[in-house]
Amino acid sequence: MSQPRQDNGAAPAWVKAAADQSRLAFGLAVTELGKRDERVVAVSADTLDLIGLRGFIEHAPARVIDVGIAEQNAMGVAAGLATTGMRPFVCGYAPFITARSMEQIRNEVAYADQRVVIGAAASGVSLAVSGGTHHALEDLALMRSLPNMTVIVPADAHEAWHATLATDAIEGPVYLRLGGRVPERAVMPTDGPFRLGRATRLADGADVTVIACGALVAPALDAAAALAIQGIGARVLNMSTVKPLDEEAILAAAEETRGIVTAEEHHLTGGLGGAVAELLAVRRPTPMRMVGMPDEFACVGPTDRIRARYGMSAQHIADACLELTG
């Protein structure tokens, strides 16, 4: 469901409107789906501007429901709408839409296998200045553990747009992990279709493989460039679908390179690294290192400095690769 370019060769209008932020790309894509399908409804937990739903309100105000700061209620409303054949998209802050409404997600959405898409903005430490209560560093572990749940972590705004449109073909519940009010460097093409359950190879290398998702895909590419100067070839895989996992790409990397480094803006427990390690432990034991948030709560500070402080940077990814190849 890729978006065609305009006749003059310029990027589609949504690219500029998204402003390099996956949260806005998600809202724009939901609005686009709402124009195509009268069953689509946005359920907002006080996120009309965070997600960028004003365009949807202008198009179909009756299909935008803002329940306020009440994530549990938002999830219940969405689940109820799904039972009537509507296509609800829940729009919330990642730390609250997951932890606060976990019971509703588990019982009313995942257990009931409802067709509900959860757009979770401000994930990881993108709201670092707001402190630990506003950091979402355990959400992938929570969502990945739920049967029936598809888990998607777009690398940038471009991929967020296409991934959101692709949810139209997914029958069960979906968790879409989005960034915050921090621009995300574009690493994916504007016109590339999203392939559920398939990793995208962004760099080639025969020495080591970096498997990254979300905010750490761009740093993974930076790490690969730095390693190339030292004569080390690093393959970089954008693992934007954490569940279902691209097992074929991971096993091929384990076979063809000397080790695997995973990189994610998430606790080292239960996220992408855990998913990759679980697969390799059973199918092909492989030397690994995992880059991510250690087992602690982050302090308050600017997002880029918090990422660096807790080991979620290009340098840390490169160092992990050197450990495996040195």
Using one digit for the tens of pLDDT, what is the confidence trace for 104-121? 999 999 999 999 999 999
| Residue 114 C-alpha from the chain's centroid | 20
Q: Which of 219, 233, 183, 212 is nearest to 276 (CA)?
A: 212
The architecture (CATH level 2) of 15-177 comes to 3-Layer(aba) Sandwich (3.40)
pLDDT digits (tens, 9 = 90+) for 215-251: 999 999 999 999 999 999 999 999 999 999 999 999 9
At 44, is the pLDDT very low, low, confident or very high (cuts 50, 70, 90)? very high
Q: Which amino acid is at 173?
A: P
pLDDT digits (tens, 9 = 90+) for 261-308: 999 999 999 999 999 999 999 999 999 999 999 999 999 999 999 999
pTM of the predicted structure, to 2 decimals = 0.95
pLDDT digits (tens, 9 = 90+) for 183-200: 999 999 999 889 999 999
* Strands laid side by side in the 260-267 sheet: 200-203, 234-238, 208-212, 260-267, 288-293
CATH number for 200-325 (one of 3.20.20.140, 3.30.70.100, 3.40.50.300, 3.40.50.920): it is 3.40.50.920
The mean per-residue pLDDT over the stretch 90-106 comes to 97
Question: Rounded to whole angstroms, how far apart are CA atoms 2 and 102?
Answer: 32
The mean per-residue pLDDT over the stretch 64-76 comes to 97
pLDDT of residue 11: 84
Question: Rounded to whole angstroms, how far apart are CA atoms 222 and 317?
Answer: 9
Question: Rounded to whole angstroms, how far apart are CA atoms 136 and 33?
Answer: 27
pLDDT of residue 40: 98
Question: Rounded to whole angstroms, how far apart are CA atoms 276 and 82?
Answer: 32
pLDDT of residue 2: 35
CB atoms within 10 A of CB 202: 19
pLDDT digits (tens, 9 = 90+) for 1-12: 333 333 345 789
| Cis amide bond preceding 244, omega within 30 | yes
Q: Which helix (H) or strand (E) holds 303?
A: helix 303-309
Query: Fold match between 15-177 and 200-325?
Result: yes
Q: Is 222 in contact with 314 (CB distance < 8 Å)?
A: yes
pLDDT of residue 63: 97
Q: Where are the domains of the chain?
A: 15-177, 200-325
Question: Rounded to whole angstroms, how far apart are CA atoms 75 and 114?
Answer: 11
- What's the mean per-residue pLDDT of the chain? 95
The mean per-residue pLDDT over the stretch 161-176 comes to 97
pLDDT of residue 9: 57
Does the pLDDT of residue 326 top 80, yes or no?
A: yes
The mean per-residue pLDDT over the stretch 72-92 comes to 98
Q: Which of 284, 321, 307 is nearest to 124 (CA)?
A: 307
Does the pLDDT of residue 156 top 80, yes or no?
A: yes
Contact partners, residue 90, CB within 8 Å, separation at least 6: 43, 45, 74, 75, 78, 97, 116, 117, 118, 119
